[in-house]
Structure 1
């Protein structure tokens, strides 16, 4: 392992994180000097965090500044894994230095801050903050209802945006001198089993992906603003939508606005964020280079993509099934209301965004079971969504079909194809290993979490609800591993993760990183042989 190279790259990454905190500072200016002193505390906390991040990053960079070796496979894995750990640690500093309170009388601990930071960067959207605004100040137009500094809330949402497309992808886009090592880094961070660069040069690929991402951010911020949000809330909710993160600036999430228009805008944004961003580039390229193409030809990359078609088909089925369940069980009076809430919730869960407008924990058992399945499916490869990815389920279904057919026709040889290209045995093996690992990690983490969580945490007043502990722990593991945010039981859209113990939060934090980086970039860090030179 080339330690000096690791030090140099991680140092540059630390400096990048420190510089990105500067964007949050202006949001404290209009409120400093007022009776609510925590706005000033938030500003000072951010300043200390910036200085600390730049100092740590600068020290690491100075240590390895003269090392210019190529980034090999092992170094790429270590940089991605350690880079996300470093980002999680540095991202937690604003919460600690600003003395942010988890509850009215409980300041955030180091574990709480790390959990919130990693949840933001991994776009999980799980939170330990119980009150974002003062419930006694209900004026939606007031700028003084927040119980947490606005600049800290902005940083909380901004971590979504940075982690959505990927901090390593941003790193590669800014630094062009990484050469072939940049491609190795992006392969470890961009989700999905098939990661073909949309441009021959990896830096151009990273720039294109971030250009698309920033363009969509500008568009949705403007739309939210025109629909009645303040510019601040429009930015924060755009970050949560396009990064499929789900952090909101209100206790009731998007339900605070009570607006069908805003909900449908968010549905469109979540759908687009859950789609492979490479498809947008191909559509743009076809449109710009072939002016005589018809509309159908220009959008051919979209409607010809089997993963996108499967993704939309699953969402349509889930929406109709949820609508039927809500109507059949008399949850809502109107079938249109059922369709509205089922559409928003199914898209929010499958794209792993986690925004909420209704408390789906009060829905039928069938509805909750269906949402739990959607958590594992996730969005498309190359998107900002989490989960196992639709492409893996497509490959898995094709592999199972071939294996079943070979059971009664052993002499027939068929090739497995996806996107019109034959899939080699190595990719088939990778998909099966990935499914097996996810299942093993889910079950083992579920049992560990159930063992380490005190039983008395699941006693609420005089009503003993210990019987739900197993389901709550399973939901927490599934939600964290798939980067969802809300879950079932005590983790419903109206609840949060504050009831979990410190060790439990650390386990869930690790699961968030495993899910975001698709296991291997984190798992290898625990193997002693990985760190040896030979």
Structure 2
């Protein structure tokens, strides 16, 4: 392990976080929240002092391979969450450090699970920071670092692979830094576009900003206690559309901006993603049609919740825990499916499930025709053995960690539906579950131990398991 290069990168990350913390400090100043302002300035200073001291480290080698990249990715999310929790604790918004860490990890990992029952009572600076963590975590802070800083040495694509969701990460252009800049340009552009649409619908400026942060990062922290239930149908429709758009593989937008329309529409994963959304909306709309004044209203509410769950955003427009079991079963299934690889969404990812479905089909065909050669293809290209192996290993690790988490938090004595959906909601970075952790409830019911288990789940889900698991492998920390 090249310790010096890992800690130096962590130093740069803390400098970035310190700079980003200046925005909620500015909001606190604008709203005359002077006590909150000083808390943010203290946290900024702490980030700068620690960050600068780490950047003075001089590694003998600037090369960082996959081991250093995974360790950096995992430690980055832990460190920024610890520092990001400080304003919650010092302001008294969440005085319990474990709960403050839970809330901050939930923000950065774009989960949206909360321990707060009354978000409307929060100071505006704290409320801004809470939602802004979604936007920061949506694209990834290491991708942000690659976009703004000309790092030298090593394989930068390893950093992107360690943090970016999906079974495989490809560069859009030969330069990794240029790829990171393209991703953030698209991300910023779509964010600005949604803010404009929200303002056009009469949504207040601060609400537009914070709800867009939650939508863009597919996070789900709301401004009001009922999430989006109090907003107009227009606002809910805008958020629905943008949740779906942010769940699309960003390669599609890159190809569209380059006028490579054939490549953009040839991405098979996106077709599966849209097909699953369409089928789910139709099935749920039919099932809940008697709960709403018209079928059109039922379809609008179904579309909102389907988009919110499959993209792992976690907003709610109504209490879907009151819907029939058929509809709730579909929503729970969507929790596991997730959005596209290369998007800001979480979950298992459509691409993995698509490959697994094709693998099952291949096995069935080979049972009938043992000598047939039937390669698994995605977008017309055969999937290599390494990718297929990594997907199978991911699924195995996913099931083991999921089952272990359900077992551990069951020590608190809550019912199976609550525990199962609590893990599903945190592990897949969604937010609300069902029963005692449903859309109108929160996660404050759990003990400190269970909150730590669920915090681990949020981090593991965002980093797609292995970067975080590597921290517990002794071989990771051996010097070379």
Q: TM-score range by the shorter chain?
A: over 0.9
1:42 partnered with 2:16? no
The Cα of 1:179 is off from its aligned counterpart by 4.4
TM-score normalised by L of structure 1? 0.88
1:256 positional shift: 2.0
Tell whether 2:390 aligns with 1:430: yes
In the alignment, which residue of structure 1 is the partner of 2:252? 279
Aligned to 2:76: 83
In structure 2, distance between residues paired with 1:81 and 1:67? 23
Paired with 1:434 and 1:394, the residues of 2 have a C-alpha distance of 14
Instruction: Name the CA distance, whole Å, in 1 between partners of 2:267 and 2:71.
Output: 33
User: Is the 1:43–1:98 Cα contact (8 Å) retained in structure 2?
Assistant: no
* 1:440 and 2:400 correspond: yes
Once superposed, which parts of structure 1, at least 4 consecutive aligned residues long, lie more than 3 Å away?
65-68
* Residues 302, 308 of structure 1: 8 Å contact kept: no
TM-score by length of 2: 0.98
Conserved 8 A contact 1:481-1:514: yes
SS of equivalent to 1:255: coil
Residue by residue, what CA displacement relative to the aligned partner does 1:328-350 show, whole Å, maximum 9, x if unpaired? xx322321121111011011100
- Tell me which residue corresponds to 1:104: none
Offset of residue 67 of structure 1 = 4.5
Could you tell me how far 1:68 is from its partner in structure 2?
Answer: 4.7
Q: CA deviation at 1:407?
A: 1.8
The SS at the match of 2:119 is coil
Distance 1:344 1:337 in 2: 11
Tell me the residue number matched to 1:109.
96
8 Å contact 2:139–2:184 — kept in the other structure?
yes
Q: Distance in 2 between matches of 1:379 and 1:495?
A: 24
SS at the partner of 1:484?
A: coil
Corresponding position of 1:291: none
For structure 1, which runs of at least 5 residues remain unmatched after alignment? 33-38, 102-107, 134-146, 287-297, 459-468
1:180-259 matches, cutoff 5 A: 180-257=154-231, 259=232
Write the mapping of 1:125-524 to structure 2, written as runs, cut at 5 A: 125-133=112-120, 147-257=121-231, 259-286=232-259, 299-327=261-289, 330-451=290-411, 453=412, 455=413, 458=414, 469-524=415-470
> What is the CA–CA distance in structure 1 between the aligned matches of 2:154 and 2:254, rounded to whole Å?
22
- The structure whose RCO (Cα within 8 Å, separation 6+) is larger is 2
Per-residue deviation, residues 25-79 of structure 1 (Å, max 9, x unmatched): 12122432xxxxxx333212111111111122122223x1455521112111111
Q: CA offset at residue 165 of structure 1?
A: 0.5
Residue number in structure 2 paired with 1:530: 476
Which residue pairs with 2:48 in the alignment? 54
CA contact (8 A) 2:161 2:168 kept: no
Please say if residues 426 and 461 of structure 2, whose CA atoms lie closer than 8 Å, have aligned partners that are also in contact. Answer: yes
Contact 1:15 1:54 in 2 (8 A): yes
- Contact 1:168/1:185 (<8 A) preserved: yes
8 Å CA contact 1:45–1:96 kept in 2: the answer is no
Q: 2 CA distance for matches of 1:283 and 1:130?
A: 42
Alpha carbons 2:107, 2:219 under 8 Å: kept: yes
For the residues of structure 2 that align with 1:402 and 1:198, how far apart are their CA atoms? 30
How far apart are the structure 1 equivalents of 2:165 and 2:459? 12
Separation of aligned partners in 2, 1:228 and 1:41: 31
Unpaired segments ≥5 residues, structure 2: none
Q: Which residue of 1 aligns with 2:25?
A: 25
Cross-structure match for 1:36 = none
Residues 235-286 of structure 1: per-residue CA shift (max 9 Å, x gap): 11111011100111111111121x1111111111101100011110111012
Q: Secondary structure at the match of 2:167?
A: coil
- In the TM superposition, residue 177 of structure 1 has moved relative to its aligned partner by 2.2
Distance 1:332 1:317 in 2: 20
Aligned residues: 480
Partner-residue secondary structure (3-state), 1:256: coil
Question: 1:178/1:186 Cα in 2 relative to 1: closer, same or farther (>3 Å)?
Answer: farther
Tell me the alpha carbon deviations over residues 461-502 of structure 1, each in whole angstroms, 9 at most, x when there is no partner.
xxxxxxxx1110111101101000011011111111111111
Q: Equivalent residue of 1:533, what SS?
A: coil
Aligned equivalents of 2:285, 2:316: Cα separation in 1: 16
Q: CA deviation at 1:324?
A: 1.1
Cα distance in structure 2, aligned partners of 1:178 and 1:123: 30
The 1-side partners of 2:433 and 2:261 are apart by 36
Structure 2 distance, partners of 1:6, 1:180, is 12
- State how far apart, in whole Å, the 1-side matches of 2:156 and 2:30 are: 41
Between the aligned partners of 1:69 and 1:210, the Cα distance in structure 2 is 25
Aligned to 1:290: none
- What do the CA deviations read for 1:431-470 (whole angstroms, capped 9, x no partner)? 111111111111111111102x1x3xx5xxxxxxxxxx11
What is the CA distance between 1:408 and its match in structure 2? 2.4
> How far apart, CA to CA, are the structure 2 residues paired with 1:6 and 1:305?
35
Q: Deviations over 1:88-134 (max 9, x none)?
A: 11111111122214xxxxxx31101111111111000111111022x
